[in-house]
């Protein structure tokens, strides 16, 4: 049955190798079951319900990727978009989390339409590398700011806008420990480095009495508080359209980038350098986003950590199916997830920031018309506390800089149209 479903022999792999690869991928990304519920709980959502939604949405995405696309790519609610969901859309812009879920749902539907109409490839080619790089870097800095703020490392300061918190406080010390643990574990080759750092820091919180023990195993919490709680009443207002676009845009780049990275690592590209069945992979991703929004979580997307499983020998969808089954098994550890304090996830957020900033090395720094939009996009996301604003200002700056520099031909029609739309949004919102 496995041979028929996943074509193991054709892909020069075995069921044992695929299961090992799936376990490897899961260990590298399992931190999301701790981070995502904690982050969305700040938006007022029920922690237990989000925990269940996170596990089920991830499982749906992984199973669809495995059975439909037959790729060793795992999915789960994405880092960056969950922070944007909570701290920008809900807490800063003042929308309810129900409206934010509706925006995620709409972005998933649009993603599905783009995939089915095969517009995705045209759109990806139309967006310059500079903007894609700047967006990734900006999301990384945005996550770092969230982690440092939640741990009390960075606090508000009326005189200087921001300042350093009490470095002798327990939360700040533990945040430093979590970050140091991640870096050390990664350096020594631990696949589950991020998850282990969260667990170690949580254990220290228990030992020093800052965290109350609530158990490890239990029946899954009810998903009822967030299930089908979407509110579409204000989702089509002008201000929300940029939010939907931000969810769509980042998911599009996350998925496309992950597909390319995993395919290159596993030698899965065809003779023309293209990925077969890419439309099926995109369909799995968009369906998982829609299902996740209905369950009660932010955008579900492909995880680049899937490259760890490919490096361990994963070549087929059985790897992704294995990850999906492990996420289902995690439904029974909700008490453990509920004990994780904010400072325990700081190291994870800073580590993801490092990974996302690493792409800046690809920037053409010798070309100021390429470098300037990257820097603007990257710094505006954390400074405006909004991924949507960062993307908008990035597109506007790219188009304006190219036109004023006599390089208008570098501005594709898609970028020009989006830049004009963003200008209109700022002018009339």
Predicted confidence (pLDDT) per residue in 315-338, tens digit: 999 999 999 999 999 999 999 999
Residue 8 in domain = yes
pLDDT-based confidence at 122, cuts 50/70/90? Answer: confident
Q: Give per-residue pLDDT as tens, 165-223.
A: 999 999 999 999 999 999 999 999 988 999 999 999 999 999 999 999 999 999 999 99
Nearest to 105 by CA among 290, 274, 236: 290
Q: Which two tokens stand for residue 266?
A: 């596993």
| pLDDT for res 429 | 66
Q: Which two tokens stand for residue 292?
A: 């996740």
**Beta carbons of 74 and 302 less than 8 angstroms apart:** yes
Residue 157 in domain = no
- Distance between CA atoms of 326 and 330, rounded to whole angstroms? 6
* Structural domain span for residue 345: 2-151+163-350+363-422
Domains identified in the chain, total number: 1
Residue 427 clears pLDDT 90, i.e. is over it: no
Phi-psi region of 175 (alpha: psi -120 to 50; beta: other; left: phi over 0): alpha
- Distance between CA atoms of 296 and 227, rounded to whole angstroms? 6
Give φ, ψ of 4 to 5 degrees: -70, -40
| pLDDT for res 288 | 96
Strand partners, 155: 163
Residue 428 in domain = no
Residues 6 or more apart whose CB falls under 8 angstroms from that of 412 comprise 126, 127, 128
**Beta carbons of 214 and 339 less than 8 angstroms apart:** yes
| pLDDT for res 61 | 97
- Distance between CA atoms of 394 and 155, rounded to whole angstroms? 27
Mean predicted confidence (pLDDT) in 353-379: 93
Predicted TM-score (pTM) of the model is: 0.88
pLDDT-based confidence at 362, cuts 50/70/90? Answer: confident
Mean predicted confidence (pLDDT) in 405-419: 93
| pLDDT for res 124 | 67
Token pair 């892909």 is found at 11
In the DSSP assignment, the letter for residue 156 is: E
**Alpha-carbon dihedral angle through residues 365, 369, 371, 372, given to the nearest 10 degrees:** 140
| pLDDT for res 373 | 96
Mean predicted confidence (pLDDT) in 129-135: 88
Residue 357 in domain = no
| C-alpha of 350 from chain center | 14
| pLDDT for res 306 | 92
Higher pLDDT, 120 or 3: 3
| pLDDT for res 426 | 87
pLDDT-based confidence at 311, cuts 50/70/90? Answer: confident
Which is it for strands 154-157 and 300-302: parallel, antiparallel or unpaired?
unpaired
Nearest to 64 by CA among 311, 257, 320: 320
pLDDT, averaged across the chain: 92
- Distance between CA atoms of 275 and 265, rounded to whole angstroms? 12
- Distance between CA atoms of 214 and 226, rounded to whole angstroms? 23
Q: What percent of the chain has pLDDT over 90?
A: 75
- Distance between CA atoms of 141 and 79, rounded to whole angstroms? 12
Residue 94 in domain = yes
Sign of the torsion angle spanned by Cα atoms 210, 203, 38, 227:
negative
Residue 401 in domain = yes
| pLDDT for res 267 | 80
CA of 44: how far to CAs of 94, 95, 115, 172, 390, in Å? 12, 11, 33, 24, 25
**Beta carbons of 340 and 202 less than 8 angstroms apart:** yes
Residue 156 in domain = no
Q: Give per-residue pLDDT as tens, 267-280.
A: 887 777 677 888 89
Residue 72 clears pLDDT 70, i.e. is over it: yes
In the DSSP assignment, the letter for residue 90 is: I
| pLDDT for res 121 | 67
- Distance between CA atoms of 401 and 98, rounded to whole angstroms? 38
Mean predicted confidence (pLDDT) in 108-123: 83
- Distance between CA atoms of 147 and 172, rounded to whole angstroms? 11
| pLDDT for res 156 | 93
- Distance between CA atoms of 364 and 357, rounded to whole angstroms? 15
Residue 429 in domain = no
């Amino acid at each position: 049955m496995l041979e028929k479903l996943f074509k193991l022999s054709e892909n020069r792999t075995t069921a044992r190798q695929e299961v090992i690869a799936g376990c490897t991928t899961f260990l590298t990304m399992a931190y999301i079951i701790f981070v995502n519920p904690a982050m969305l709980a700040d938006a007022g959502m029920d922690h237990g319900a989000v925990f269940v939604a996170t596990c089920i949405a991830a499982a749906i995405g992984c199973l669809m990727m495995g059975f439909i696309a037959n790729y060793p790519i795992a999915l789960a609610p994405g880092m960056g978009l969950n922070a944007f969901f909570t701290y920008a859309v809900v807490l800063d812009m003042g929308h309810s989390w129900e409206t934010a879920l509706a925006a995620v749902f709409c972005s998933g539907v649009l993603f599905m339409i783009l995939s089915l109409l095969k517009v995705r490839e045209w759109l990806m080619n139309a967006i310059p590398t500079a903007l894609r790089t700047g967006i990734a870097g900006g999301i990384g800095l945005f996550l770092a700011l969230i982690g440092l703020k939640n741990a009390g490392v960075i606090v508000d300061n009326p005189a200087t806008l921001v300042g350093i918190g009490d470095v002798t406080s327990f939360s700040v010390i533990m945040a430093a420990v979590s970050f140091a643990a991640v870096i050390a574990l990664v350096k020594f080759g631990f696949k589950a480095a991020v998850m282990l750092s969260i667990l170690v820091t949580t254990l220290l919180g228990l030992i020093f009495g800052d965290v109350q023990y609530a158990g490890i195993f239990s029946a899954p919490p009810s998903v009822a508080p967030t299930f089908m709680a979407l509110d579409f009443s204000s989702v089509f207002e002008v201000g929300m359209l940029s939010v939907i676009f931000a969810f769509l845009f980042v998911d599009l780049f996350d998925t496309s980038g992950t597909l390319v990275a995993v395919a290159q690592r596993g030698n899965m590209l065809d003779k023309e350098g293209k990925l077969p069945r890419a439309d099926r992979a995109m369909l799995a991703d968009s369906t998982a986003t829609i299902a996740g929004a209905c369950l009660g979580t932010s955008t579900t997307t492909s995880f680049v950590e899937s490259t760890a499983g490919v490096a361990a020998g994963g070549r087929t969808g059985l790897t992704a199916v294995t990850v999906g089954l492990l996420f289902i098994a995690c439904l029974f550890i909700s008490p453990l997830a509920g004990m994780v304090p904010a400072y325990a996830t700081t190291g994870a957020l800073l580590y993801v920031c490092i990974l996302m900033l690493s792409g800046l090395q690809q920037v053409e720094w010798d070309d100021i018309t390429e470098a300037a939009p990257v820097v603007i996009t990257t710094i505006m996301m954390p400074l405006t506390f909004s991924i949507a604003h960062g993307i908008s200002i990035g597109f506007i700056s790219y188009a304006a800089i190219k036109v004023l520099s006599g390089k208008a031909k570098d501005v594709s029609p898609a970028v020009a149209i989006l830049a004009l739309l963003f200008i209109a949004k700022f002018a009339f919102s």
